[in-house]
Amino acid sequence: MANKPTEGQRVDEPTGTEFVGHEWDGIEELDTPMPRWWVWTFYLTIVWAAVYVVLYPALPMLEKGTEGILGWSSRGDLAKDMSAADLAQQSFREQLAAIDVVKLQDNPQLMQQAVAGGAAAFKVNCVQCHGSGAAGSQGLGYPNLADDDWLWGGDLQAIEYTLIHGIRQQGDDQTRSSIMPPFAGVFSDEELNAITDHVMSFSKMANSNPLGAEIYANNCASCHGANGMGDRAQGAPNLSDAIWLYGNSRAQIQSQILAPRMGMMPKWEGRLDPVTIKMLAAYVHSLGGGEDVMEVAEDPVVNADEQP
């Protein structure tokens, strides 16, 4: 409702509202009062602000803000959430610590949580050598953990054992260890080319010859097997699967024959707790090349991997 015009004030005849005296390009402003609903809403916001200041932290002081009579704070909420998360994490770790790694796959939910935890641990401890995608590096001799080629077995227990004791770890008498002797100065150029052809023939990369087959039988078959299938008990690589740790070119294969490169992986026992090691085993197993424990156990070559 418009205010009653005062004496001497100009009034807008259609609305009966006084002009305030402001004009912009011929448009004059009327002194129209605010709607009652808007005024009351404004008053309510003032009341709400006053109540909020009393109940909740609001006013900054010299050393800290007012706490409010309810004692609520966002820091307190965060602490409660963190405590709940810590309890959930503790429960998960207790379950994982109690279960044998061989039985982990029987509990899909726990396995999924273990894989997630192992992925985080892998990023901190393993990507420096094996890469963020676990593809390794042929140039540096770091194994690809995402394929299905395993020197000592790819079941959960075998992977956990490797993580615990490492590979060629000095001071650990249970570490994984294999040694290939250097053949530099042993073979003539003809013999070196012949044995190289024979090794490459296992993966259909070259044609074998009688001389190469004879040299292989006398010098290599005891570890790699007559058909080049390798021997997990010794950590002897499979030469017939077309997966090469140090490269598959002729020059790279001959270099490995003459002066073998043998890598070292540190043991993680003592560096990481057993639960984290178990999570890492679960993650590596999940990358695509993990083997089933029962299938591996049926292979007598990998019985050693079944031992704790």
pTM: predicted TM-score of the whole model, two decimal places: 0.68
Q: How far apart are CA 117 and CA 97, in angstroms?
A: 13
Mean pLDDT for 276-284 is: 96
Residues 6+ apart with CB under 8 A from 46: none
Contact 239, 230 (CB under 8 A): yes
Can you spell out the DSSP letters for 118-169? HHHHHHHHTHHHH-TTS--BTTTTBPPTTSS--SS--SHHHHHHHHHH-BS-
Q: What is the pLDDT of residues 70-90, one digit of tens each?
A: 888 888 788 777 777 666 677
Highest mean pLDDT among 2-16, 75-89, 285-299: 75-89
pLDDT-wise least confident of 4-8, 11-15, 195-199: 4-8
Q: How far apart are CA 308 and CA 304, in angstroms?
A: 9
Does position 252 have pLDDT exceeding 70, yes or no? yes
Mean pLDDT for 266-290 is: 95
